[in-house]
Chain A
Amino acid sequence: GAVVSQHPSWVICKSGTSVKIECRSLDFQATTMFWYRQFPKQSLMLMATSNEGSKATYEQGVEKDKFLINHASLTLSTLTVTSAHPEDSSFYICSAPTEGNHGYTFGSGTRLTVV
């Protein structure tokens, strides 16, 4: 079945640095990728939608200059958390629509800890 590979699975960074998270669709073309963040014991909150070859669409309240999204190819979308601060510590997950009745395929998530 469809697989979205997400890396890294966890990262610890210092305040002020930037972190890049990658999501690759391994056996299908993902023209659209959704990026979510999830705080402990809470639901997933949609941050932005990236479309291959065009600008990402950000949800209300999400700073586009802080969370840079690039979707340069049909198999790769990246999220860069710029100038990270401790409040950015969270679980970030990507997902892509899958054809047929198979819902969406999710990456395995990235646990970001900013110290």
Chain B
Amino acid sequence: SQQGEEDPQALSIQEGENATMNCSYKTSINNLQWYRQNSGRGLVHLILIRSNEREKHSGRLRVTLDTSKKSSSLLITASRAADTASYFCATAFDYKLSFGAGTTVTVRA
């Protein structure tokens, strides 16, 4: 089942710029995960943030989690053309993942 919404639905930026996308969810979570999907391919796990964490970094990725607002954000810094993909947040509860609608990011060279 789809958990919530992501915004924006689509994002177009210049190479080198930062990309920020937001995710809202509705129910309790154990953790929240972000995934990348290139067109017609499977999903690649990017980062996981637990419900008791507020911020996490991994390379050029920064994720925040606000459980009081039931929202998360993903920041990709210094974007590259290879970052062009769809990004999905997924909330995990009882080992099940529920995905957001996704944000399509296009990085222009």
Contacts and interface: CB of A to CB of B under 8 A. Distances in A.
Interface of A: 6, 32, 34, 41-46, 49, 59, 91, 93, 95, 97-98, 101-109, 111
Contacts of B101: 42-43
A106 B43 contact: yes
Interface residues of B, number: 21
Most buried by B among A41, A97, A101, A105: A101
B45 interface: yes
Which among B43, B97, B102 has the highest number of chain A CB atoms within 10 Å? B43
Interface of B: 1-2, 33, 35, 40-45, 48, 88, 95-102, 104
Given A45-B1, A109-B40, A104 B33 contact: yes
Given A42-B101, A45-B1, A106-B45, 12 more contacts: A32-B95, A41-B104, A43-B88, A46-B1, A91-B40, A93-B43, A97-B95, A103-B33, A103-B35, A103-B48, A104-B45, A111-B40
Contacts, number: 55
Interface of B is mostly: strand
